[in-house]
Amino acid sequence: MNLKTVKSLLNTETIFEGTEEKDDFEVKNACGADLMSDVLAFSNEKTLLLTGLTNPQVVRTAEMVGIKVIIFVRGKEPQIETISLANQLNIFLYSTDKPLFEACGLLYKNGIGPEEMNYIEASK
Nearest Cα to Cα of residue 62 among 81, 75, 49, 79: 49
For 45-88, the DSSP string reads TTEEEEES--SHHHHHHHHHHT--EEEESTT----HHHHHHHHH
pLDDT band with cut points at 50, 70 and 90 for residue 115: low
pLDDT at 88 over 90: yes
pLDDT band with cut points at 50, 70 and 90 for residue 74: very high
In this structure, are residues 61 and 83 in contact, taking their beta carbons and an 8 Å threshold? no
pLDDT at 26 over 70: yes
The radius of gyration of the chain from alpha carbons, rounded to an integer in Å, stands at 14
HSE-up of 46 (CA within 13 Å, CB side)?
12
How far apart (Å, rounded) are the C-alpha atoms in residues 53 and 61?
A: 12
- Amino acid sitting at position 88: Q
Ordered by where they begin, the domains of the chain are 3-114 (3.40.1390.20)
